[in-house]
Amino acid sequence: LANRLFHPEDTIIDIDGLKIGGGHVAIMAGPCSVESEEQLMTIAHAVKESGAQFLRGGAFKPRTSPYSFQGMGEEGLKLLKKAKEATGMPIVTEVMCQDTFDVVEEYADILQIGARNMQNFPLLKRAGKSQKPILLKRGLSATIEELLMSAEYIMAEGNLNVILCERGIRTFETYTRNTLDISAVPVIKELSHLPIIIDPSHATGKWAMVEPLSKASIAVGADGLIIEVHHQPECALSDGAQSLKPKKFAQLMEAIKKISEI
Ligand code: PEP
Ligand code: MN
């Protein structure tokens, strides 16, 4: 179902009139984690003003350490809803397990399945029964073929609205958090009709590398970006080191507008 051989035209996903895929560049931005109403509203208004179309923010967080901040849970989802009402931006948020699927599905416009869950097959099957588009992130050490097979799990259950996301893979290089596999974009464009976006924040783990890799992503033909933004990155409860301040995000938006019409 994901194979371009049997579906030559690009899939274009329409969310409240905003399009993802087929040459429409979608920008999703916001904090790694929802931390408070003030934090989320400040960031949401800032990214909207710079031209982001979708608001990202995690309420259920897949943290490497069980002692790290795990997210605000349903309280965080309620704040995302408030931010959507205030800005009009549709919400992208992660769903981590089947137990919390229904509640996340109620609030989200796009359901994110994180890198660590790319091969959680029962979760993929549940996502396939949803009416909401799924943002499927590539696993930390997954091949492109494996990513496409995971998309197939979702589509086989009836949900054809899958957005793929390259977010860096684990290699021998340790300078960056992961290694951005930019070639995943043309490879996926050849193999599949599904939209493919890039997450330069998790790919590098370093805010200073987010802008150059965003430009590269758009130039190589990605259908969009998902970027972490925080007004006080030094105080962020997760992923501060890779979060752009709103002013830097505004500069990034200007830079990528020169490469592609957004
Ligand atoms: C995230 O988007 O905050 C996240 C945890 O991403 P990934 O699953 O790519 O690590
Ligand atoms: Mn993050």
- Six-digit token string for 258: 């020169």
202 and 115 Cβ atoms separated by less than 8 Å: yes
Q: 262 pLDDT exceeds 70?
A: no
ipTM score for this prediction = 0.98
- Six-digit token string for 59: 């309420």
- Count CB-CB contacts under 10 A for residue 215: 17
Percentage of residues in the chain having pLDDT higher than 70: 99
Q: Stretch 192-217: mean pLDDT, rounded? A: 98
- In one-letter notation, the amino acid at residue 99 is D
Give nearest CA residue, ligand 1 atom 4.
Answer: 114
- Ligand 1 pocket list (CB less than 6 A): 32, 58, 62, 114-116, 137, 167, 199, 202
For residue range 53-110, what is the model confidence (pLDDT) as tens digits?
Answer: 999 999 999 999 999 999 999 999 999 999 999 999 999 999 999 999 999 999 999 9
| Beta strand pairing call for 162-166 and 54-56 | unpaired
Domain 4-257 listed as CATH 3.20.20.70: yes
**What residue spans define the domains of the chain?**
4-257
The residue ranges of DSSP E strands in the chain, in sequence order, are 13-15, 18-20, 26-30, 54-56, 91-94, 110-113, 134-137, 162-166, 196-198, 224-228
Q: Stretch 25-51: mean pLDDT, rounded? A: 98
Q: What pTM does this model have?
A: 0.97
Q: Stretch 174-180: mean pLDDT, rounded? A: 97
**Burial of 167 by CB count in 10 Å (0-12 exposed, 13-18 middle, 19+ buried)?**
buried
How far, in Å, is the centroid of ligand 1 from the Cα of 166? 11
